[in-house]
Amino acid sequence: MPVKFRSGESIPLEMHKARMVQSLNLLPVEERVKASQEAGNNTFLLKNRDVFLDMLTDSGVNAMSQAQYAAMMNADDSYAGSETFYRLENAIKEIFGTAFFLPAHQGRACENIICQTFVKPGQTVIMNYHFTTTKAHIIRNGGKVSEIVSKEGLEVISGLPFKGNLDIERLRREIETIGSANIAFLRIEAGTNLIGGQPVSMANMREAVKIAKDAGILTIFDASLLSDNLYFIKMREKEFLNKSLKEITLELGKLFDISYFSARKLGCARGGGIITNREDLYNEMIGLVPLYEGFLTYGGMSVREMEALAVGLRESLDFHVIEQTPIFVEALTKELLAANIPVITPAGGLGCHVNAMSFCEHLPQGQYRAGALAIAAFIAGGFRGMERGSISEERNADGSERFAEMELLRLALPKRVFTLSQIKYVADRLTWLYENRNLIGGLRFTFEPKILRFFFGRLEPVSDWPQKLSEKFRKDFGDSL
């Protein structure tokens, strides 16, 4: 809950207390350089023991509540027909108002099932914006992606409250040009991940879904980042100021033909699921669950995680729970803006997104500005973010680079994990890095996988810039870590 201090400053007060903690390790800067080299200058390959603040993602690392842990002890282990599954299914029915639920081990597993079932070779999936795994599954099934996020969605600085909105005129044009029969489905992603965790308004979703439905096109909702999006619908969309989170969620559940989610994000557990009110669609997908995930009453999830998820989903309807990430993202964004550091505005959900395109404008885009910034930030402060730029793209069919529209360093804020002093530390080290940004050099691949290269690709610095950065750190900070 944001509260005002006497100075007038607004502080994101934690509406919880920590009763189980994990110790952290902050390596000296020289060892941070060594660790980044060993990790092939890819923050995905760092060992967590070398990381101080793990801001790579919120996926599977959100703090769980005591009620979630307690529920885990009360699980019913069974291959088929476990009570745990029915408890989860009931929670989902109650929260989304949908009749059918297919469990899966995580979000991309849902995407695998959905894309194998509904994407035919040559078809297009229209969406506000892609997520890496979603696009990979669509392409793997012979499909194409058409992104129609609003123009402002790709502008770094904006005052628009819903930058994840679809451009409705473009949607109409795309349907007319491509033709409904060649469109696999319309996909709307809540809390649009790759453009900075930016929300989509209910008004926009209603309009887009109506157009698609009128044209006979299937509508699919990626609800992985729903809790942040719910917060923004309630806070920024007038109609919903006095509506409960439950009412908003119920409307969303009913709006789409199919919704799916990563329970590593939504519900603060580990798993995933597909929900629908349409029995015909449920029956089309059902066979793939036992094939890829496991029997229909666990879908690759452990019973303990399913129990935690049932409780976590209910807790996602508690305003004090879901506001924690957005108000912390806003606090970090504000600190960075005060230091003139280029960040995505308005602050969204998921994390703070630093604009590497201008932070590292002295580097050619082909030397991976966001990837270089991610490594420089780890050297400067021991925190690891995630590159969300050109490294996260795949090459064009002819082997040429496909440069990303945005070069971002995402500093994720897993729900209820970090404290305000840790946030202030991140802002301080990033400010130092910004003042010394000319010391950041580029990266080049030494090993480049064909699919999702950002996960385990290895890179090297184009010069000895990491050492120079570390020397400057020592000079400025003396003995401090």
List, by residue number, the catalytic residues. Answer: 79, 131-132, 222, 265, 388, 454
Q: Residue written as tokens 């946030």?
A: 423
Nearer to ligand F0G, 356 or 363 (CB): 356
Helices vs. strands in the chain: H and E counts, helices first: 19, 16
Nearer to ligand F0G, 43 or 470 (CB): 43
Least distance in angstroms from the C-beta of 246 to ligand F0G:
22
Least distance in angstroms from the C-beta of 270 to ligand F0G:
8
Q: Are strands 458-461 and 258-262 parallel, antiparallel or unpaired?
A: unpaired
Q: For the chain, how big is the Rg over CA atoms in Å?
A: 22
Nearer to ligand F0G, 265 or 437 (CB): 265
CB atoms within 10 A of CB 182: 13
Residue 286 in contact with residue 296, Cβ under 8 Å?
Answer: yes
Nearer to ligand F0G, 87 or 264 (CB): 264
CA distances 207 to 200, 204, 212, 439, 471, Å, are: 12, 5, 9, 48, 55
CA distances 391 to 363, 431, 450, 481, Å, are: 15, 24, 11, 29
Sequential DSSP letters for 314-360:
HHTT-HHHHTHHHHHHHHHHHHHHHTT--B-SS--SSEEEEEHHHHT
- As a whole number of angstroms, the distance between CA 431 and CA 440 comes to 14
Residues in contact with ligand F0G by CB under 6 A are: 57, 59, 106-108, 131, 133-134, 189, 193, 222, 224-225, 262, 264, 272
Nearer to ligand F0G, 124 or 128 (CB): 128
Nearer to ligand F0G, 29 or 309 (CB): 309
Least distance in angstroms from the C-beta of 472 to ligand F0G:
31
For the chain, give percent helix, strand, coil, nearest 5: 45, 15, 40
Least distance in angstroms from the C-beta of 63 to ligand F0G:
16
> Among 307, 310, 314, 222, which residue's Cα sits nearest to residue 260?
222
Least distance in angstroms from the C-beta of 225 to ligand F0G:
5
Core vs surface per residue 80-107: b (16+ CB within 10 A) or e: eebebbebbbebbebbbbbebbbbbbbb
Least distance in angstroms from the C-beta of 133 to ligand F0G:
5
Q: Are strands 383-384 and 2-4 parallel, antiparallel or unpaired?
A: unpaired
Helices 303-315, 83-96: inter-axial angle, 10-degree rounding: 20
- As a whole number of angstroms, the distance between CA 446 and CA 463 comes to 14
Nearer to ligand F0G, 146 or 436 (CB): 146
Least distance in angstroms from the C-beta of 337 to ligand F0G:
23
- As a whole number of angstroms, the distance between CA 155 and CA 358 comes to 13
Nearer to ligand F0G, 164 or 441 (CB): 164
Nearer to ligand F0G, 262 or 367 (CB): 262
Residue 222 in contact with residue 187, Cβ under 8 Å?
Answer: yes
> Among 265, 437, 302, which residue's Cα sits nearest to residue 359?
437
Beta strand spans in 173-253 (E): 183-189, 219-222
CA angle 60, 64, 67 (to 5 degrees): 140
Least distance in angstroms from the C-beta of 311 to ligand F0G:
19
Q: Are strands 219-222 and 258-262 parallel, antiparallel or unpaired?
A: parallel
Least distance in angstroms from the C-beta of 107 to ligand F0G:
2
Q: Which residue of the chain is nearest ligand F0G when measured via CB?
A: 107
